[in-house]
Structure 1
């Protein structure tokens, strides 16, 4: 009975009727595959030609009996889709059910696609050529919507700069690793934060970058290629790695080669500086490019790069030369980790914190968006939809605004201060609205061989070395090398929504070191929930295009990459800021030598100081919605 009901929905769509949308999330993957096999015309392992002759393996799903050209939902991925599963399977079924063609394609150098792999899959050429091919098909109405999360979203950004005439709309979800430089953020695809390398791509590249991959011989006919795909998915099975142990290996440059991996992407990237010209030659989107596509963005507070995502959203709205593209950028920001936009609902737990009822119908929102831009239904996506919809933690509700941050947000500066010392949770570090008078400072010893460990926060895709989300920070706050500054309990709610700036006056006896900052919500029972964090390598304080070492005894100002969030600190809660010099394994340790770090095996201890006097103040600035 269940299958007959679902198939009926397919039949209605295929006949061009206005079928009511099904909730495909409640059906098993086997049922969805059976439906597609019976109710969709399917072509598998089609080699779509690129301009250099390389063919990209592509599967096409179209409703049987559909009359007239179809709009297309396009999902491009470096991952194995030989047997559709997860989101790709559900969206193939959803698309066919709603009268769309669904096209899924492997990037070059992955599985059944030809060529050599490169991160983001040549979006400026391969992406453009794929749209050319879709547009030219007899079954296409010439309108394509790109869709996907993480790697299937990141490539869309550089493609949007090409403004292909068939690229009618896009839905980039958790797309930060596709951003090179935008405004204050120069993360080069999440490789850096504040000039400090992140560890997540070390694990990701081990699993994805496979220069020894098996490939089919060229010249096979389509039927043979499809037949091979029925019993061989060309998926490499690499040896398991205990990443929680391996991530501590030094030098970092041997992280993968020491596992027996041949030279590949990691070996090139680990040597690049944040401003290396090679970052500007690949598939990353940079803020010197135009933008030509309406976009519905999905981001989340505990993802790896919420800041660049929201900065790019603003950049497009302010700078795209195409008025239609400028005016049609919409963002939805959930309180979840990476790509968990389909898990929203009652009693959502993020990390260890219950953030309430986050219910949001992501699927319906996506197809309303595509209905407007791919089918020409102006009523599908409501004209009065707010440009920004965001979930405020603490308040635990969805809110909306027309701009980001909300126009009502006003900066409130809190200064770091202490009398006897802010070392650890048991010090007397405070956050005060009044600027400090006199002189003050807090010092600690940073030993890179005994780093402060990461507990939660925004992260992803890291082999289990960090679990993202809201977790209690008191275990690290108990350390003497963590400075802790805490406000008095609030007497009324304080809603913080937008970019959170942190500025530190620092000194060190090391030529180079890192300073890490964390924003924390302290509950009345003492639980210290992480909200967001940031970090900066001191040598880049004057810009990523130059490196300037520190001199012992000199005080320097660090303007760290902003944190980004929406949280309401409730009455009785306290606002806390942590400052230290490591956040490992989320970020690679600075060995304090002033050297290259990536090729060094020994670190030295650094005596680091945060100043908070009248002459050298340190502070955090919160965007407070009055």
Structure 2
């Protein structure tokens, strides 16, 4: 057991408002799995509360020390008992940690144990961010009628598509997380791993070594999860069948509250879960702020909204719930919007065409030769900003990237009016490459009057792909690229900018252009790319333009605005 996990849970050091209660803790409760492995859990019990409902959290990141706050400790003084269990093979629990692989079976066995306890009073909820939220999705459809509520943050029911973004390997995030989970149980591991794992991953990714060697280069030894996802990157491999719970989301009966961030690595798939619930007739709540995955700023909104959710569905007090299920922070406008649904009702899909001379506009395509660039995988185009698992994903100035010859930059004239873009963003491109195996990356930026070009959202597609359709017989393909969803105002006087390139290294593993196996490829082949923008090939970015209705707007309080929007976005 790591030193981190031996630390006591931190006390509540807040001035105690009326209604808050102290709590007691039962440590290391054994929970035996069907295969004989024993997992350990801690139980936090509010003192003097009769028949408190239970909140269950399952985590691979430890039960004690500062981790206790992320596990929901602050919910306990409000009258909920909390059970926090360490996942198999982590922080005192027996067995081997097989990331994502045992959460369904172990979770269902834990729920069966929970229901047999004399202190369980018939109702429970599930809570957690990231992996903790995934653990909840793994069991939610089979947890039984006793599961009355779920409040989940920056997470999804499946991480497969986040590992292979647009078909490409999310190298930086995958290697970072694998290194972190290998080091966290070491002495002081949870203190040092978050600070050093990303640095090690980036350094290793830039070494030029084959992907199969990078785990040893970063962590000093082979790391199971990293090697598993390298070896099982196609749907036919079957590895993901027992790790993907997106197909069960529509069967979940418990009310679900979701919180995400515009710059979070899991946002597109969290929104897919939301849409699945809506299609099944449910009314989940959704909050999206200007946050990234490890952004501490979403901690307080997560707690506040989870308390309101659990009070409503476990205690029968709905007074804290907002009227509209969807709450979005619009960057650039610096205000919250409230809507009935996602995407916001009344949004129109606007095609902004790529123009010859590297222009961009809503007017139609014009006759002109294709724009071209050369991509060399031996010297890949880097990524500046954008979603990553650890570290900051705040928008940054992309002008250094735009000076590279392997990045096409299409820019609109200054906007005459504000343009609110809220919803899913996509690119519809007509392209041709002299290699069958290549990538196309599309990025949307906001250019301020002083020239700063800050990334708003991005996405990519690795070819060959079902999302690429031949057009004629001359090798031109029509490709559909999904970018991250966004909620952003392009202010009057600003310009809209679109990048088209073929690399975002090291966030995405470089495409060597040869079609060799992902893990062992070493030969790099430069590629010539063409992007067409004529009437027969009207390449465009598709923006969801939202009307600004006064009743939807809730300006952020001054202090909250300062915290949320320090970058001016």
* TM-score class, shorter: 0.7 to 0.9
Residue 122 of structure 1: aligned partner: 102
Q: Corresponding residue for 1:449?
A: 378
**Aligned CA distance change for structure 1 residues 56 and 288 (closer, same or farther; 3 Å):** closer
The CA deviation at 1:475 is: 0.6
Q: Do the aligned partners of 1:162 and 1:292 also contact (CA within 8 Å) in 2?
A: no
Residues 269-278 or 188-197, more deviating:
269-278
Q: 1:604-619 alignment to 2 at 5 Å?
A: 604-619=525-540
1:83 corresponds, among 55, 58, 65, to: 65
Aligned residue among 149, 160, 167 for 2:140: 160
Deviations 1:128-161 (A, max 9, x none): 2222222222222221111111111122222222
Aligned equivalent of 1:425:
none
Paired residues for 1:461-540 under 5 Å: 461=390, 467-540=392-465
**Aligned residue in 1 for 2:351:** 413
Instruction: Work out which of the two has the higher radius of gyration on C-alpha atoms and give 1 or 2.
Output: 1
Q: Would the alpha carbon gap of residues 109 and 236 (structure 1) be closer, same or farther in structure 2, given more than 3 Å must change?
A: farther
Hey, what's the Cα distance between the residues in 1 that align with 2:60 and 2:436? Answer: 41
- Deviation of 1:373 (Å): 1.2
Structure-1 residue corresponding to 2:169: 197
On the 8 A contact 1:334/1:341 being kept in 2, the answer is: no
Change in 2 beyond 3 A, CA 1:4/1:100: closer
Find the counterpart in structure 1 of residue 31 from structure 2. 48
Q: Which residue of 2 aligns with 1:348?
A: none
1:163 touches 1:293 (CA, 8 Å); kept in 2? no
Aligned to 2:212: 253
Matches within 5 A, 1:306-321: 306-319=267-280
For residue 439 of structure 1, report the CA deviation from its aligned partner.
4.0
SS in 2 for 1:459: coil
Aligned match of 2:304 in 364, 369, 393? 364
Aligned twin of 1:386: 324
Structure 1 residue runs without a partner (length 5+): 10-18, 23-38, 181-187, 215-231, 345-359, 419-427
Matched, 1:150 2:94: no
Deviation at 1:179, TM superposition (A): 1.8
How far does residue 361 in structure 1 lie from its aligned partner after superposition? 4.3
The separation in 2 between residues aligned to 1:50 and 1:550, in whole angstroms, is 55
Three-state SS of the structure 1 residue aligned to 2:523 is: coil
CA contact (8 A) 2:332 2:489 kept: yes
Matched, 1:179 2:162: no
The counterpart of 1:132, out of the listed 94, 97, 112, is 112
Q: Deviations over 1:251-276 (max 9, x none)?
A: 10111134542362221210223423
2:524 alignment counterpart:
603
1:506, CA displacement in angstroms?
A: 0.9
1:8 to 1:593, Cα distance in 2 relative to 1, 3 A:
closer
Shift of 1:83: 3.0
Question: Is 1:104 aligned with 2:84?
Answer: yes
Distance 1:490 1:279 in 2: 48
| 2: CA distance, partners of 1:171 / 1:340 | 18
- CA positional deviation for 1:5: 9.0
Q: What TM-score do the two structures reach when normalised by structure 1?
A: 0.79
Question: C-alpha distance in 1, partners of 2:161/2:477?
Answer: 28
Which string of whole-angstrom CA distances, capped at 9 and with x for unpartnered residues, describes residues 321-378 of structure 1?
Answer: xx5xx13x0000001111536458xxxxxxxxxxxxxxx744232111101111222x
Cα distance in 2 between the residues matched to 1:66 and 1:506: 64
Distance in structure 1 (CA, Å) of the matches to 2:191 and 2:492: 53
TM-score for the superposition, normalised by structure 2: 0.86
In structure 1, C-alpha distance between the alignment counterparts of 2:277 and 2:358, rounded to whole Å: 40
Q: Distance in 1 between matches of 2:144 and 2:296?
A: 28
Q: How many residues align?
A: 530
Aligned partners of 1:601 and 1:376: how far apart in 2? Answer: 60
Gaps spanning 5+ residues in structure 2: where?
1-10, 548-569
Change over 3 Å in CA distance of 1:586–1:119 after alignment to 2:
same
The range that moved more, 581-590 or 360-369, is 360-369
Q: SS at the partner of 1:276?
A: helix
Instruction: Summarize the Cα distance change of 1:75–1:454 in structure 2 as closer, same or farther, 3 Å threshold.
Output: same
Q: Look up the SS of the partner of 1:70 in the other structure.
A: coil
Distance 2:254 2:134 in 1: 14
How far apart, in 2, do the equivalents of 1:362 and 1:491 lie? Answer: 37
For residue 43 of structure 2, what is the aligned residue in structure 1?
Answer: 60
- Residue 271 of structure 1 is matched in structure 2 by 231
Please state how far the C-alpha of 1:550 moved relative to its aligned partner: 12
Contact 1:508 1:550 in 2 (8 A): no
CA distance in 2 between partners of 1:404 and 1:237 (Å): 39
* Aligned CA distance change for structure 1 residues 83 and 552 (closer, same or farther; 3 Å): farther
Cα distance change on mapping 1:282 and 1:365 into 2, 3 Å: same
